[in-house]
Structure 1
């Protein structure tokens, strides 16, 4: 996944008050779309230090924290150990480089991850394959923002264009909405965030 080197360096100091707050509103937005999830498995894709997934642990029967950064995974392993969590596991893996044929989940969620992925359609197609039939992919990310200029991340996404791409891949029942606006939360710019729910 893009920008792994950067995340390796900031893993130890990643959990700032602002990131914890945005993770809270993101997990609350995801939770609104969960149905009978306490009997379902989930993957926190591009989980970072697990801020969003940790908030949702009690909503699922099991959760896999997946990230490309070993240092980020170390942070989650420490949290799982410290809190004696029984229904979580971790995996350091890069979907952009290789596939996992035996990985399956009922829910996959990704919060502020898509903007770091170069080939969005390719990764969304791989995640489609991982979902069980009827499973859900939930995306939390920034709305397209022309003020953000970066060589490292997308400047957000147009919800309609993203839904069209996902429909082409095979996702259905796609719905999305803007749920949060914040000051200087995206590369130093004021920005808004959306949540998108889709089904296989």
Structure 2
């Protein structure tokens, strides 16, 4: 019971934190990162604009979903933060896109049964820069695997445990309580998670890095003023982890 309570509090803290950031989340920095991530996602699966159905979990305001949309038949975004869901769906409406092609739904927790994502199955499930926020990423990976179509692919982009990442999250005091995995993840950890979910061909690849000094070239870094103006140096090492449904 205590573990569940801790998990619930962490999930609620994440939802509250990102709801507050929803209106200001789109910056030069966040868009640049989204574009880089989307480019690697597109390289890792043969997207077909007439067939490919995508789930973007912990999608935020949809920065990556909108990048992928021209290459997919349908994308469903899922986020726990009401503010993010609202911003996402307002963007869809403002651009005149049909909700049948792109929409975001709110989900507080994953139960691990057919009630998740209304029982839908997907060709591709992506989860970008969110795994380090999950209290139990092994459980989340298993749920994703259950919602892949045969031959479907799960793609996870997150931080490797390198580049002084722990010091970065440790210094963000207001943010650190919603980051259970402050070290990022090793390749071995990701492979083990994919295997535990019975996904085939598990693989992890480093895709790009972003240094503190590079981040300062983009408008939006000011949101992290506390750590950006400190004497702590760091580099984000991004990886993509993939696993396939049999």
Using the size of structure 1 for normalisation, the TM-score is: 0.92
Contact 2:76 2:103 in 1 (8 A): yes
> Of 128, 132, 135, which residue of structure 2 is paired with 1:115?
132
**Cα separation, 2, equivalents of 1:51 and 1:157:** 23
Instruction: Measure how far apart 1:147 and its partner are.
Output: 4.2
Is 1:191 the counterpart of 2:239? The answer is no
**Residue of structure 2 equivalent to 1:18:** 29
Q: Deviation digits for residues 118-142 of structure 1, max 9, x if unmatched?
A: 0010111111111112111101101
**Residue of structure 2 equivalent to 1:44:** 56
Q: Answer with 151-160 or 59-68: which moved more.
A: 151-160
Instruction: Measure how far apart 1:152 and its partner are.
Output: 2.6
Name whichever structure is richer in helix by fraction.
Answer: 2
**Cα separation, 2, equivalents of 1:45 and 1:68:** 9
Q: Answer with 187-196 or 44-53: which moved more.
A: 187-196
Deviating beyond 4 angstroms after TM superposition, the runs of 4 or more aligned structure 1 residues are 185-188
Contact 1:95 1:126 in 2 (8 A): no
Q: Answer with 88-97 or 113-122: which moved more.
A: 88-97
Instruction: Measure how far apart 1:83 and its partner are.
Output: 0.9
Q: Which has the larger radius of gyration?
A: 2
**Cα separation, 2, equivalents of 1:40 and 1:156:** 30
**Cα separation, 2, equivalents of 1:24 and 1:108:** 17
> Of 90, 97, 100, which residue of structure 2 is paired with 1:85?
97
**Cα separation, 2, equivalents of 1:147 and 1:62:** 35
Contact 2:141 2:193 in 1 (8 A): no
Instruction: Measure how far apart 1:58 and its partner are.
Output: 1.0
Name whichever structure is richer in strand by fraction.
Answer: 1
Instruction: Measure how far apart 1:103 and its partner are.
Output: 2.3
Secondary structure of the corresponding residue to residue 119 of structure 2: coil
Aligned residues: 200
Contact 1:95 1:123 in 2 (8 A): no
Q: 1:147 to 1:70 in 2, by over 3 A?
A: closer
**Cα separation, 2, equivalents of 1:147 and 1:52:** 23
Instruction: Measure how far apart 1:197 and its partner are.
Output: 1.7
Is 1:143 the counterpart of 2:160? The answer is yes
- 5+ residue gaps in structure 1? none
Please give the root-mean-square deviation of Cα atoms over the aligned residues, in Å: 1.9
**Cα separation, 1, equivalents of 2:132 and 2:53:** 25
Using the size of structure 2 for normalisation, the TM-score is: 0.76
**Residue of structure 2 equivalent to 1:134:** 151
**Cα separation, 2, equivalents of 1:37 and 1:160:** 31
